[in-house]
Structure 1
Amino acid sequence: MKNTPLGYTDSGTGPAIVFLHGFCESKDLWAEFAKPLAKQFRLVALDLPGHGESPAPEGFSMEAQAEQVYLTLQQLQVEKFLLVGHSMGGYVALAFAEKYPELLRGLCLFHSTALPDSPEKKENRLKTIEFVQKHGVEKFMDSFVAPLFAPANRDACQKAIQKMQDIGKATPPKTIEGCLQAMRNRPDRIQVLKEIRVPVFFIAGKEDPAVPLEATLQQCHLPENSMAYFIGEVGHMGMFERTVATRQALLKFAETLP
C-alpha cells in the first residue's frame, strides 16, 4: 500500500468499519476487541496524528485530524463505512461527519459526545498541560488511566490498564499538549447529530467519569435514526470492561446498516 498519512491496520473483508482511538491511545486499543468482526467486515484501525505510528501534524484540531483520516482512507480506497470513535476519536469522527457525510454508512460514538467542554473541563485541560510540563508524561499516565475504568472493574482489568499506560507513555508530550488544547477548543457539534442522515449508535458507560451518562441522554435522541446502549458498572473503557457485550452490540448495529 502507498505511504499513507496515518499508521493503520487493515484486515477482513466485507463492508468497512473504521476505528478511531482516543487521547493518548493508539490503534492497538481495538486489536483484540475488533478481531472477531473480521469474519464479516473489513476492519481499518488508524493511529490518529501524533499517536502510535502516525507522525506529528502541523495542528491537532479535530478538523485537521479528520482531514488526515480522510486522506488515509482515500489512499486505502475505503469508500462507504461505519465510523467508530472512542472518546477523542469520537470528536474527530463528528468533525469528519460534518465535512464528509456522504462517505458514512453509520456513526458510533463509543464513550464520546458532541457537546463541547464545560468551563470546568476547559480549566482541567489547562491544569493537565501544566502537570505534564512539570512532571512528565510517565507520571501523568500513572494517574490518568485507572480512573477511566469503573472501580468494580479495575482489578479484573489490570492487564488492560497496564497496556493503556504503556501506550500512553509512548505518546510524545507535543501530542498530549496539542490534543488537550484542541479538545478544549473544539466546537459544539450537536447540530451534526441533528442533521446527520445515517444511523448513529451511542455506547455509554453508566459510570463514565469522562462522558457522564447525562451528556449522552441529552443527545442520543437527536439523530433521525439512533440507537443507544447504556451499560451498568462500566466507565470509559467498555471495550475492555465489557468486551463481549460491547462488541456484540456494535456488531448488531453494523448488521442493520443499509
Structure 2
Amino acid sequence: MAILPRFTSLGHGHTVIMVHDADGGHLSFAPSVESLASQGYRAVAVDLPGYGYTPPIEPYNIQALANSVLALIDALQVKKVTLVGHGMGAMVALEAVMRDASLIKRLVLCAGGPPLDEESINAWTRPRLDALDEALSMPQIAERIVSMQTGQKAIPEGLRLVRHAMGEVHPLIYRHALQAMNDYQRNAAALAQVQVPTLLIGGAQDVCMPPEALQAMTHILPDAVSLTLPGIGHWPQLEAPEDFDGLVMDFLARGRSVH
C-alpha cells in the first residue's frame, strides 16, 4: 500500500501538484505555491516519503514514490491534475503518468525526467554521493553542490532557499533517493506512450540535465515542448522563480477551461 505524502496547499481552482527533487522537500516549490495560488490555482507541494514529516518507504525507488503521488491525487478527490516535477521529482511525475495517465491533465518536467545515462549519473548523483561518503553534513553538502550547479543569473534569495531545503534532508534518505535515481530505468518505447501535453523546462547552465538532454525528450514524448532559461542552473524554480512560474502558467492557461 502506497504511503500518503504530507503536503502544503494554497489556493482554489485547478490542482497543480509539485514534486520535489532529491535535494529538498516541499520548500523547493515555495515561491511557485504562492504564485500559482494567486493566479487561481490550487497549488500543492508534496513531501515525498522520507522528506519532511512523510514516513519513509522500503524499498525506496521511483516506482514507489510515483505510487505515493498517485495516492495523493486519489485522496484529494480531483478529476485531473497538473503534475510539476523537479529533478528526481520529474522522474516521479513521469512515472506517475505512465502508471495512470487518466489522472493527469498536463505535465511539467523541470531539470529532469528521463532515466539517467552514465554521463548524467556522473554529473548529477556522483558529486552528491561522494559528499555523503566524505561524511559531510547536509548543510555542507548543500554549500558544495549549490556552488557547483547553479547559474550566473540565479537570484541570491533563491540560492538561500536551495541551501536551506537541502540542509533539511536526512542523509540516509538522501542516499536512498540518489540511488533510486541511478536505478530508474524506462526505455524510449515506454516513454513514447505518454500522450499528456508536456512542458520541459531547464537551465542553460544545468550540468545535471543540460538543455540538449531535455530537447532530446521532445523527440520521444509525443506532445512535448522544451524551453531553456539562460544563465540558470539546476534549480530554475528557485534561481529564476518569476520566469519559471510564468512559463508554467502560460502552459497551464492553454487548458484552463476544464478543471
TM-score, structure 1 normalization: 0.89
User: What 5-or-longer segments of structure 1 have no aligned partner?
Assistant: none
Q: 1:107-158 CA distances to partner (integer Å, 9 max, x unpaired)?
A: 11011131323157259745643531432333222201232211x225xx33
Give, in whole Å, the separation in 1 of the partners of 2:213 and 2:140.
30
- Which residue of structure 1 lines up, in the alignment, with residue 196 of structure 2? 198
TM-score, structure 2 normalization: 0.89
Q: 1:124 to 1:215 in 2, by over 3 A?
A: closer
C-alpha displacement of 1:231: 1.8
Give, in whole Å, the separation in 1 of the partners of 2:19 and 2:233.
18
> Identity, % of aligned pairs?
23
Q: 1:120 to 1:46 in 2, by over 3 A?
A: closer
C-alpha displacement of 1:72: 2.2
Give, in whole Å, the separation in 1 of the partners of 2:222 and 2:23.
32
- Which residue of structure 1 lines up, in the alignment, with residue 110 of structure 2? 110
Give, in whole Å, the separation in 2 of the partners of 1:201 and 1:124.
21
Give, in whole Å, the separation in 2 of the partners of 1:120 and 1:237.
16
Give, in whole Å, the separation in 2 of the partners of 1:181 and 1:123.
14
Contact 1:5 1:68 (C-alpha < 8 Å) held by counterparts = yes
Give, in whole Å, the separation in 1 of the partners of 2:242 and 2:129.
35
Contact 1:62 1:92 (C-alpha < 8 Å) held by counterparts = yes
Give runs of aligned pairs for residues 111-126 of structure 1, distance below 5 A: 111-118=111-118, 121=121, 125=125
Q: 1:50-97 CA distances to partner (integer Å, 9 max, x unpaired)?
A: 112222222220001111112222222233011000111001111111
Give, in whole Å, the separation in 2 of the partners of 1:123 and 1:247.
26
Q: 1:129 to 1:242 in 2, by over 3 A?
A: closer
Q: 1:53 to 1:216 in 2, by over 3 A?
A: same
C-alpha displacement of 1:192: 4.1
Give, in whole Å, the separation in 1 of the partners of 2:187 and 2:193.
10
Give, in whole Å, the separation in 1 of the partners of 2:207 and 2:227.
17
- My pick for the range that moved more, 30-39 or 174-183, is 30-39
1:207 aligns with 2:208: no
Contact 1:12 1:40 (C-alpha < 8 Å) held by counterparts = yes
Q: 1:148-172 CA distances to partner (integer Å, 9 max, x unpaired)?
A: 211x225xx3332222222212211
Match for 1:107: what amino acid?
Answer: L
Contact 1:109 1:201 (C-alpha < 8 Å) held by counterparts = yes
C-alpha displacement of 1:27: 0.9
- My pick for the range that moved more, 202-211 or 158-167, is 158-167
- Which residue of structure 1 lines up, in the alignment, with residue 220 of structure 2? 222
C-alpha displacement of 1:17: 0.8
Contact 1:122 1:184 (C-alpha < 8 Å) held by counterparts = no
- Which residue of structure 2 lines up, in the alignment, with residue 23 of structure 1? 22
Give runs of aligned pairs for residues 1-258 of structure 1, distance below 5 A: 5-38=4-37, 39-118=39-118, 121=121, 125=125, 128-136=128-136, 137-150=138-151, 152-154=152-154, 157-257=155-255
Does the residue aligned with 1:10 lie in a helix, a strand or coil? strand
Give, in whole Å, the separation in 2 of the partners of 1:134 and 1:29.
25
Contact 1:114 1:189 (C-alpha < 8 Å) held by counterparts = no
Does the residue aligned with 2:134 lie in a helix, a strand or coil? helix
Alignment: residue pair count? 252
Give, in whole Å, the separation in 2 of the partners of 1:105 and 1:238.
22
Match for 2:50: what amino acid?
Answer: G
Q: 1:165-206 CA distances to partner (integer Å, 9 max, x unpaired)?
A: 222122111101101111111103533441112201111211
User: What 5-or-longer segments of structure 2 have no aligned partner?
Assistant: none
C-alpha displacement of 1:244: 1.7
